[in-house]
Amino acid sequence: MMKRIDLVNISKSYDRKRHVLSDIHVTIEPGEFFVIVGPSGCGKSTLLRMIAGLEKITGGILKIENEEVNHLPASKRGLSMVFQNYALYPHLTVEENIVFGLKAKKVCKSERNQRCEEAADLLGLTEYLNRKPRELSGGQRQRVALARTIVSRSPICLMDEPLSNLDAKLRAKMRAEIKRIQQKFGMTLIYVTHDQVEAMTMGDRMMILSKGTIQQLGRPIDIYNEPANLFVADFIGSPPMNLINGIILHSTAEISLNHQYRIKVPREAIQHVRSNHIKLGIRPEKIRMNEEVSSIENTFLVKVTNVEILGYETIISFEMGEEEWKAKWNGQWNVREGEMIPIVIDAADLYLFDRKTGENISLRFNQPTFVQKEVMG
């Protein structure tokens, strides 16, 4: 049975003065893959441990299926947990590690064996059941930890940076495997990571934390397309969003960048903006090269500072006033360091942020009017 989790104004303080977490309010739906993401020290692992019952909740209410569980120990909350360090018993075999929790719950031997065989088959561990953890690779040990979670059949699973010790290729494989398992068993899964790629590719929804507070909550693609503030804009995206100080010139419908460049924008897009001193942003993949070197609006000649050809894409670093920006283009580009190249910035791809508060200021473009025509039969 899938279960819902409610965090109602959850807070955490160790000294009653400074809060590690403040006013965390969110509902995690039954069967949802929910990702908590943020930089080191933001409070994400502490929050997971509070849900698990391993850390005391200082303020607020934690509910599982509408039942308050603040007072319940970890063993009574009906959940399983996968840690970063796997937490396997070195003296036990893979099979014994997988069924250890079932033994403690007095599950009969035939049932234990059946669940173990199913999990081992699902995760490709059948031939390793008699081995000890020291005889396994990092990825295999992680699978054992996952198998232990699967056999428990807990409706809620918590994962604390389970892939951070693996190499890049194995991480990509395990991301897909964890997502597949979660969907197969319909678990409510709460996944903690500092890796925004994991957050973007795995979660149904994600919550971004910084300094113990929620910065944004929503679907990964919505957060990517509409970051709530400067922190989110800079944190989500690889490479991150290009940012630069700007001043809105309402008289000419332009944005001045470091008093060096001017970007033309439609007048209606900025007429509602009250603060003229803004931070302008654009995603690296939205910057184009003006290959015709024609008089396309918002074309700028910039100096290349670095080129990374990754095979499937090329990342170009270049000077944009006092800032270094990046452009990300598909394919392999013959561009050299020190070369001057013409780039194009489309006003429709720009983000504006209030320089004082960091909040996103939406540009407002007039939408085209579509006239529905009758089809004569």
Which residue ranges make up each domain of the chain?
A: 5-231, 239-358
C-alpha 38, offset from chain centre: 8
**How high is the mean pLDDT of the chain?**
90
In the predicted structure, residue 50 carries a pLDDT above the cut 70 = yes
- In this prediction, residues 232-242 reach a mean pLDDT of 94
What pLDDT is recorded for position 372?
Answer: 47
Q: What CATH number labels 5-231?
A: 3.40.50.300
Highest-confidence segment of 160-164, 219-223, 372-376: 219-223
What pLDDT is recorded for position 366?
Answer: 65
Q: What is the pLDDT of residues 296-355, one digit of tens each?
A: 789 999 999 999 999 999 999 999 988 999 999 999 999 999 999 999 999 999 999 999
367 — pLDDT class (breaks 50, 70, 90): low
Q: What is the pLDDT of residues 151-202, one digit of tens each?
A: 988 899 999 998 887 788 878 888 888 898 898 888 999 999 999 889 999 9
Q: What is the pLDDT of residues 75-102, one digit of tens each?
A: 899 899 988 777 899 999 999 999 998 8
Query: Which CATH code of 2.60.120.590, 2.40.50.140, 2.60.40.10, 1.10.3720.10 fits the domain covering 239-358?
Result: 2.40.50.140
Q: What is the pLDDT of residues 198-215, one digit of tens each?
A: 999 999 999 999 999 999
What pLDDT is recorded for position 189?
Answer: 95
What pLDDT is recorded for position 370?
Answer: 41
What pLDDT is recorded for position 293?
Answer: 54
What pLDDT is recorded for position 203?
Answer: 94
